[in-house]
Chain A
Amino acid sequence: MDMSNVWPFPLSLRSKLAAAGYSTLASLQNVSPSALARDINVSREEALRILKTLHGNDKSSSHSSSGSSLLNGAKTAWELLCHENTRRRISTSCAELDSLLGGGICLQEVTEICGAPGIGKTQFSMQLAINVQIPKEADGVGGKVVYIDTEGSFMVERALQMANGCVAHLHSLSLSSLSSEYLDVDTYLSNIYYFRICNCTEQIAVVNHLEKFLEDHKEVKLIVIDSVTFHFRHNFEDMSSRTRILSSMGQKLMHISESHQLAVVLVNQVTTKFSGGISKLIPALGESWSHACTNRLILYWEDNQRFAYMYKSPSLPSVSAPFSVTQDGMCSVNYNKRQRV
């Protein structure tokens, strides 16, 4: 049907459109601004304006909506930068480590901690589980934690020691606005949601279950999986199925960390790699797993001192920082020379 005489355009434009073969509304449904511009010899901006005007009342057409709605949810880098500066971080109780991490473990990111056995990965995780609970009045995040223990290394007696250390530290700050529950170690223990995982099926199940769990427990700001490796190291004859399951798990965790604005900390083990006759320790679970985390921290010993090395980070430099572990938990190297390990 020839509708050209009801189009809201000047005559010259109408004749150009007709000459190019665009005589009905239907013909202009699916044409892109670039193609129209070429056909009727106008600028692209002009062509876009024509299409928008024409389909202005038509809700089903994609041309009627603003260009950026196709990218719904996209933010400008400026918005992200402003958000970044207000993004909260979880302190590690060690000043050098905190500055290595740009202030602490970042919410909305997945951080992997790997290292040789006995270096302190579980200590790190337990310290974060306590520190995430430090209230906002004391510059903390004030959140709860889901601790997924796949190896049985979470010892509640040790968590109690760390909670005591944290409470002692808060006491020393003498904050009058702090409510008394934050000075009670039992509070810190009650805010740790502990899952004990005994095989890889349970591990897959708990990650699938997290979405629902987090809806029911909105105050959770940290998820720790210690370790993500143990059940996946030995039970898979079929490597491709392991890679698939791990990468799906990694993606789910990344999505959860962004959408619920919490930090995900994954503990990984190391494996030996032989190259040129020398054996080296590298993070376990293979190359494809390296993409699952935003940041990767490697812990190692050197000359009887523990170090953390920022192996992978989108924004922080790859440097090392020393740290120690004492009865009260993690701390800086100079904290207390007597109790240093």
Chain B
Amino acid sequence: MAGRLISGMQLDAPLSHILHARGILTAKDVLCKPETELMELLDLPLSRIRDVIFQTSIDACPPYRSALALKEERESEEGFGHLPTHLMDIDSALLGGIPFGAITEVVGPAGFGKTQLCLMLCVNAALQKEYGGLDGSVIYYDSEHKFHPGRMAEIAQSRFPHVFSDLNNLRKLATSILVYHPHSLDEFISSLDGLENILIEKKVRLLIVDSIAALLQSEDGQENQFQKLGRQAVTMKYLAEAFRIPILVTNQVRISSNSRFSVSRHNEDADTMVHDPELQLTAALGPSWAHSVNIRIILESIGGQRFLKIAKSPLSPVTVHPYKVTNRGLELIGRDNYTCGGDIMQIHIDDDNIHGSGEWEV
């Protein structure tokens, strides 16, 4: 709506001509300039300028809906506005699955299963409707070359054996996943600009960026990169909302610069406080990016057990679920009452989970 052309609005002809002649072509041009600048540019009195601003605002403002109408829209949507993960506790916490029109982020150390979760969701999005899927395509931005089609097939066949034992279905699944390999943030940005056509043509039902942090490894200054990334958050949210699709993004961890760190684990038997001043990890990309995502899922480990924590979510409280990685992808193990604090930047990890060079194995 920002790019909405002045020529498309109901302004009277002489006014439109003046605006056009002075280079004011879109709603943004009118609304982002100060009144005095417009007065000078157009040589019109303040009252006329205010009229123009008022008309432009009415035109550029998106229409409103009541929340009741919103609820009815969701009910008539596929999947009721959510893409299920088929992990029961997660789907129930997220009121159906990862929501459309929002950015869901999965962050955790390498090897904890972020890509596995992406692959699971690929399968769910491409799966036919009668099996609980969205029957659509998936766009997979694979910046680290982690997408292994064989692994996806393995996940598909172990989760839905009755569907994917038929190789035709497997082929259909594989053709619905479009994999891109962006090598830099700029490449990613320019591809996002042209994405609308593909979203429509290919009936895309899920967009995955695995991982977004890897796109920022370049010589460009960090602040500048964060700013660029922030703008992409705006674009991605627009795409998510306009096309009503979920966007899944994975993020990395880095060593935190803070020196105090504690994790508290509470169960019926004992209170244990574990202090580990050596290894404090934090989600990459900073708090500004943390604000930009709608849902943050953290994969971490405490006391040798891996946990999936829904750390930020407008739909649910902070919940923690123990899990393991199997041939079916991620699987939840039982339930437990771990209460955790809310610092969504902090990622817990135990020493004994580190192997040799710092690479984890699944």
Contact = CB atoms under 8 A, between A and B. Distances in A.
Interface of A: 116-119, 122-123, 126, 146-147, 151-160, 186, 188-202, 204-206, 208-209, 212-213, 227, 229-231, 233-235, 241, 244-245, 269-272, 279, 281, 301, 303-304, 306, 325-327, 341
B192 interface: no
Interface string B289-321: 011111010000000000000011111011000
Contact of B2 (A123, A189, A201, A304): A201
B290 A117 contact: yes
Nearest to B240: A152
21 contacts: A119-B342, A123-B314, A151-B237, A152-B294, A156-B67, A199-B2, A201-B1, A202-B1, A202-B2, A204-B31, A205-B60, A208-B53, A231-B234, A234-B230, A234-B231, A234-B234, A270-B291, A272-B287, A301-B342, A304-B339, A304-B342
Contact of A230 (B2, B34, B234): B234
A333 to B, nearest CB: 14
Interface string B10-41: 00000000000000000110011010000000
A201 B60 contact: yes
B31 A205 contact: yes
A209 B311 contact: no
A122 B1 contact: no
Given A200-B2, A326-B317, A190 B68 contact: yes
Residue of B28, B59, B70 ringed by the most chain A CB atoms within 10 A: B70
A157 to B, nearest CB: 5
A201 B32 contact: yes
Interface in B41-93: 53-54, 56-62, 64-68, 70-71, 74, 81
Contacts of B358: none
Nearest to B53: A208
Nearest to B232: A234
B99 interface: yes
Contacts of B231: 234-235
Contacts of B62: 195-198, 202, 206
Contact of B241 (A126, A192, A196, A341): A196
A270 B81 CA distance: 29
Contacts of B360: none
A244 B38 CA distance: 14
Contact of B58 (A117, A153, A204, A209): A209
A147 B67 contact: yes
A205 B342 contact: no
Given A206-B61, A301-B342, A155 B287 contact: no
Contacts of A199: 1-2, 234, 238
A301 B346 CA distance: 13
A325 B32 contact: no
B259 to A, nearest CB: 10
Nearest to A130: B67
Residue of A157, A193, A206, A279 ringed by the most chain B CB atoms within 10 A: A157
Nearest to A154: B314
A332 B231 CA distance: 38
Contact of B296 (A117, A160, A186): A117
A152 B344 contact: no
